[in-house]
Amino acid sequence: MGSNSSKGVGVVENAAAPALKATDAASAGGDKPKCKACCACPETKRARDQCIVENGEENCTKLIEAHKQCMRDAGFNI
């Protein structure tokens, strides 16, 4: 039984490895983000999310683009 569970763990580790390499390659091309994506640009994120909830995504393109630009400026590849 122990060998079956270790095979499952190996699959998870192997699946995560390519994602880590892709992230490293993306950050090597530009500035490395100083924080996680969820914590970057809280002002533009809040305004964008509120607009989408109240008006719908199609009516908030300026705020969506402003948030994308802020994320790019913070070092994220968007």
39 marked as binding residue:
yes
* pTM of structure: 0.59
What's the structural domain count of the chain?
Answer: 1
Q: Please write the tens of the pLDDT for every residue from 1-58.
A: 554 444 444 444 344 333 333 344 344 445 688 899 999 999 999 999 999 999 999 9
51 marked as binding residue:
no
51 inside domain: yes
> 61 is in which domain, residue-wise?
42-74
State both tokens at 55.
Answer: 């008006």
60 inside domain: yes
CA distance 62 to 48: 9
46 inside domain: yes
37 inside domain: no
66 inside domain: yes
12 inside domain: no
9 inside domain: no
